[in-house]
Each structure stands twice: as structure tokens, then as C-alpha cells.
Amino acid sequence: MNLTPIEMTAKMVDGKRLYSTPDGKFYPSITTVIGSNAKKQAGLAKWRARVGKEKAAAISTRSASRGTAFHSITEDYLNKCLDIDQYKDHPLPVVMFEQTKKTLDRISNIYLQEAALYSDNLEVAGRVDCIAEFDGVLSIIDFKTSAEPKRELYLYDYFVQETAYACCLQELYGITVKQLVTIVACENGETQVVTKPPKKEYLLKLIQYIDEYQNRYGKEKLT
């Protein structure tokens, strides 16, 4: 089932990604809301101080480049229009894609890919990687890259993020997903796949992040 994508634009304002909805409202991205958590910000600052600003910036840039290329390759593959030669300047993401291909082949019946979503109820927006069936179960699917598999504790907020997308999907299209899926392609050759059912605790954590963000920054008003 192919759903009609929603057109939204995004821009960076004071380090925050904001989306403009079709009716002219401005909502922060889900990743911006979660990433603005005070505890997360403190942890990031501590890491930067430990490794040094220059090294931290280099690691962040490399990780972002790796992730962007991997997402593009994956999207092309799922759309059956992959020309692997165009990614010859990104050998590592290509290798990571090749080792993840068997997992990607468990995805079918794609509803949306790299699609903008928003929620007036939650006042957030974002861009979901993939909404499709995974092993035959309708799922929010999130693609991540990493040097090695992540401990499940560090995957928790990915499921909070996916819960936000599930809420947006229900609100905009009236469709309920049955599963949240995080696929982590790793540099060490492994592919980490973790699936969870939608849980109330993820929604409650999402609301906590949103409340904290709005208390800190207020609601977005742009002209």
C-alpha cells in the first residue's frame, strides 16, 4: 500500500530543526526534541571534553556522512533503483549495505519511505525512514549505523522516536503499526536487529521529552 506523502519543508533555527506543516505551523523535529534533553546534552558535553573538540567534531562528521550515504543506498535498494556505482566514493557504507541486505529483504509492502510526518496533538514533526511490513508485520523501521552493535539501553530512545512516528501515522492516515524495528548496520560486519511492540512507556517518555523541550524553548513561532 503506497500512501500519499505529505510535503513539508525544514530549516535550522538556532541549532534546532523546525518543520513547516501544510497549514503553516512550525514544529521541532522529533530528533531535536529528544536530543535537547538536559541529561543528553550534559553527556554529550562530557564526551566532547574527554576526547577534545576537534576529534569530537571529526567523529561526528564521519558518523553523519556514513549514515547519510547508508540511508541513500538503502532507500534506492528498497525502491529497486540502486546504481551501486554512484556510491563508489563511499566504500564503507557500501560494504555495510551489502552485509545488511539479507535483513532489508525482510521488508515488504512499503507504505512510505523517507517521508515527512507531523502531529498537531504532540506538536512535533520528523522524517521517518520507512513504514512497511517487516517479517509480515506493519512496522515503523529505523535505520542506524554504528561502529559495533549497541547495548539495548542505548537503543531505548530510538524506540521513543519510532513511537512518535507511529503517533503521527495514526493521526494523519488512521493507520496503526504493530511493531517498532531498529536496524543497526555496523562497521564490524554485524547487523543488529531489535524489534519491540509499541509500548505505553515509550509514549510517556516521548511526552516527557516534549514537555521538557517546550518548557525550555517555548512553542515555535516563526514568520
Dump pLDDT digits (tens) for 35-62. 999 888 888 888 888 888 888 888 888 8
Residue 1 lies in a domain: no
CA 82/CA 150 separation, integer angstroms: 28
In the prediction, which pLDDT does 222 show? 46
Residue 112 lies in a domain: yes
Whether the per-residue pLDDT at 212 is higher than 90: the answer is: yes
Residue 186 lies in a domain: yes
Q: Which range among 31-40, 108-117, 134-143 shows the weakest confidence by mean pLDDT?
A: 31-40
Across the range 55-75, mean pLDDT stands at: 90
Residue 222 lies in a domain: no
Across the range 2-9, mean pLDDT stands at: 91
Q: What digits encode the pLDDT tens for the residues 150-204?
A: 998 899 999 999 999 999 999 999 999 999 999 999 999 999 999 999 999 999 9
Length of the chain: 223
Of 221 and 189, more confident? 189
- Which residue, 115, 101, 107, 192, is CA-closest to 154? 192
Per-residue pLDDT band at 220 (split at 50, 70, 90): low
Across the range 64-77, mean pLDDT stands at: 94
Residue 16 lies in a domain: yes
Q: What percent of the chain has pLDDT over 70?
A: 98
In the prediction, which pLDDT does 38 show? 83
Residue 114 lies in a domain: yes
Whether the per-residue pLDDT at 6 is higher than 50: the answer is: yes
Q: Which range among 44-48, 127-131, 135-139, 143-147 shows the weakest confidence by mean pLDDT?
A: 44-48
Domain that holds residue 118: 9-217
DSSP state of 199: -
In this structure, are residues 20 and 8 in contact, taking their beta carbons and an 8 Å threshold?
Answer: yes
CATH of the domain at 43: 3.90.320
CA 220/CA 15 separation, integer angstroms: 13
CA angle (68 as vertex; 152, 196 as ends), nearest 5: 25
Residue 97 lies in a domain: yes
In the prediction, which pLDDT does 219 show? 73
The region that residue 37 occupies, defined by phi over 0 for left and psi between -120 and 50 for alpha, beta otherwise, is: beta
- Rounded mean pLDDT of the chain? 93
Residue 2 lies in a domain: no
Backbone phi and psi for residue 100, each to the nearest 5 degrees, phi listed first = -100, -5
Per-residue pLDDT band at 221 (split at 50, 70, 90): low
Number of domains in the chain: 1
CA 116/CA 136 separation, integer angstroms: 24
pTM: 0.93
CA 180/CA 206 separation, integer angstroms: 15
In the prediction, which pLDDT does 223 show? 38
In the prediction, which pLDDT does 4 show? 92
CA 72/CA 58 separation, integer angstroms: 21
